[in-house]
Amino acid sequence: MADETTVALNRRARHDFTIDETFEAGIVLTGTEIKSIRAGKANLSAAYARVEHGEAWLVAAHIAPFEGGNRYNHEPKRTRKLLLHRSEIDELLGRTKAKGQTIVPLRLYINEKGRAKIELALARGKQLHDRRRDIADRDAKRDVARELADSRRGR
């Protein structure tokens, strides 16, 4: 796993959502799309996934057109099919319908075999008070760590 190269991160996902479970999925890409991804020209900030007609789809992920591409270059924000097992798709569909969860892409990466993969999360949206609590917890942990470090140094 040390050879995985992260291409794009969705930093807002962990801030705006509470992550319950993660999945790994493959993506169906064209030739110019994989070349752009390997060049690091992808963005997941506005992306989300959904299940339609028994298939999983990645929506609004931006993969920039390949600079060396010709007239057959791809659309940057086209909907892309995700490759998941049937049981995973059924679980995603059931949990998004029943529990009000959403499917959020966390990161896009190239695995050790050179294949583009995406890490998906089943998540629940955070309310404002949840975000504030997370920020307060993070600040408290930082303060405790700072005090411990100062006490070790003898200050």
93 in any annotated domain:
yes
Give the separation between CA 99 and CA 128, rounded to whole angstroms: 20
pLDDT tens digits along 93-139: 999 988 878 999 999 999 999 899 999 999 988 777 777 888 888 89
Residue ranges with strand state E in the chain: 5-9, 17-27, 42-43, 48-52, 55-59, 62-63, 80-83, 102-110, 116-125
pLDDT of 1: 46
Residue 146 lies in a domain: no
Query: Is the Cβ–Cβ distance between 116 and 37 less than 8 Å?
Result: yes
For the stretch 42-56, pLDDT in tens is 999 989 999 999 999
pLDDT (tens digit per residue) in 9-27:
998 888 888 899 999 999 9
Whichever domain contains 29, its CATH number is 2.40.280.10
Domain residue limits at 79: 5-126
Average pLDDT, the chain: 89
Amino acid (1-letter code) at residue 73: N
The total number of structural domains in the chain stands at: 1
